Amino acid sequence: MISFDDFLKVEMYVGKIIEVNYFPEARKPAYQLTIDFGNEIGIKKSSAQITKNYLKEELKNKLIIAVTNFPPKKIGPFISEVLVLGVNDENGNVVLLDPGKEVPIATRVY
């Protein structure tokens, strides 16, 4: 088990996807996402294997939840700066976690 203090070390924030590009160099089909987390965190990039459940066009302006304090991870030629959170559906494809309602970007998740 972890303590609540340990949980608080994981910084999760609401962001808004502002740009989506195909990621042809990825081993599995994926998008490159550009996400706005507001003034304090800024604009960050992430790679997400979400092509089975989401069309590129429907992701723009979508609110998502991401871990913002993991170290950057190199994925092929791309640097992923945040971890976008999701769960697997019944087919093993990722469904993005979102706040469920409109909330301001940069809202911290507890």
Spell out the domain ranges in the chain: 8-109
Digit-coded pLDDT (tens) for 14-67 = 999 999 999 999 999 999 999 999 999 999 999 999 999 999 999 999 999 999
| Structure confidence at residue 23 (pLDDT) | 96
Radius of gyration of the chain (CA): 14
Type of residue at 27: R
Digit-coded pLDDT (tens) for 77-95 = 999 999 999 999 999 999 9
| Structure confidence at residue 105 (pLDDT) | 98
Whats the size of the chain, residue-wise?
110
Task: CATH number for 8-109: choose from 2.40.50.140, 3.40.50.2300, 3.40.190.80, 3.40.190.10.
Answer: 2.40.50.140
Distance CA 109, CA 68 (A): 11
| Structure confidence at residue 26 (pLDDT) | 92
Contact present, 82 and 46 (Cβ < 8 Å): yes
Task: Say whether pTM exceeds 0.85.
Answer: yes
Contact present, 69 and 24 (Cβ < 8 Å): no
Per-residue DSSP letter, 2 = -
Confidence of residue 73 (pLDDT cuts 50, 70, 90): very high
